[in-house]
Amino acid sequence: LVTQYTHHAAAREFGLSEIHFDPAQGFSVVGSSLPVMIRLGWKDFDVKLNQFVALWPAMRSRGTTPIYVDTNVSGKVIAKYDH
């Protein structure tokens, strides 16, 4: 995951602060310039990061930053906001 993430456009744009592992949900990353947890699950990290990067402008257009973004649901990207 570290190698895939550091070579991805998301890492160039958001940096890397933390990598988390949850036995039930898989891997997550937190960017250094973007304090949002991006849940990636177990596989297809590049595909999920591409979905995240493509949808990020629409997520930010709400005027607030999501608490987390879950890309581990097949065919969906779920953004959780505080309110």
Provide the pLDDT for residue 50: 93
pLDDT for residue 78:
93
Its pTM stands at 0.88
Look at residue 60 and tell me whether its pLDDT is greater than 90: no
Q: Is the pLDDT confidence value at 30 over 90?
A: yes
| pLDDT of amino acid 48 | 93
Long-range CB pairs of 12-16 (<8 Å, 24+ gap) are 13/53
Give CA separation, 29 vs 39, 53, 63, 83, in Å.
7, 13, 22, 22
Confidence at residue 63, expressed as pLDDT on a 0 to 100 scale = 84
